[in-house]
A and B are shown apart, each in its own frame.
Chain A
Amino acid sequence: QQQVKQSPQSLIVQKGGISIINCAYENTAFDYFPWYQQFPGKGPALLIAIRPDVSEKKEGRFTISFNKSAKQFSLHIMDSQPGDSATYFCAASVSNTGKLIFGQGTTLQVKP
């Protein structure tokens, strides 16, 4: 029940295309859903996050879509660029516990 399942494991997109990564969770107590971006050899960094009181959050080319009833959320990267090539992790937590549970990660490659 503590798991967050992420798909696909890897993704190849052409420059200018849309990258979509999906995550699903079971624990209905989760109330914070961030996405982290990690470049090779570096630690992950927060990209964008959402709470379950909204269904969508957009920051520049990055959008989180959240479906509370389906217990799913996804990251959309519009107009994908080669510089977006990285590993993306979804995560979830119960905010007053401070413990983030991460998905397995998606390696995104954007081809020029």
Chain B
Amino acid sequence: SQTIHQWPATLVQPVGSPLSLECTVEGTSNPNLYWYRQAAGRGLQLLFYSVGIGQISSEVPQNLSASRPQDRQFILSSKKLLLSDSGFYLCAWSKGFGTGELFFGEGSRLTVL
């Protein structure tokens, strides 16, 4: 069966510090990978998605970047965090685009102080 892991689960960082959130998927190959951010009362905002190694599409211009160094690894990064980067970050995967079903990880809660 397929599983998705995110870490760290919780992170408190000062403004201006770097960020690295990691996501890995097991039990499938060549998944589509996604990063969403969930802010209170604002739903789930798609940040990045990837259809293959090194292929990243950005949905929202911002302080963040994403990379996919391996088939089942997706990394969300920032060089300098802003207060507005605080939120609940969710990684997800799907098997192709056909069904539209996403499988989410447990999330990483980021607080920027």
Question: What residues of chain A have their CB less than 8 Å away from a CB belonging to chain B?
Answer: 6, 9, 32, 34, 41-46, 49, 89, 91, 93, 95-105
Contact = CB atoms under 8 A, between A and B. Distances in A.
B90 A44 contact: yes
B113 interface: no
Contacts of B98: 95-96
Interface of B: 32, 36, 41-46, 49, 51, 59, 90, 92, 94, 96-107
A60 to B, nearest CB: 18
Contact of A41 (B36, B46, B96, B107): B107
Nearest to A44: B104
Given A95-B100, A96-B97, 6 more contacts: A43-B92, A44-B44, A96-B98, A98-B49, A98-B51, A100-B100
Given A95-B97, A95-B99, A100 B104 contact: no
A110 to B, nearest CB: 20
Given A41-B107, A42-B107, A43-B90, A49 B100 contact: yes
B32 A98 contact: yes
B46 A101 contact: yes
23 contacts: A9-B41, A32-B100, A41-B106, A42-B107, A43-B104, A44-B44, A49-B101, A89-B44, A93-B100, A95-B98, A95-B99, A98-B49, A98-B51, A98-B94, A98-B100, A99-B49, A99-B59, A100-B46, A103-B43, A104-B42, A104-B43, A105-B41, A105-B44
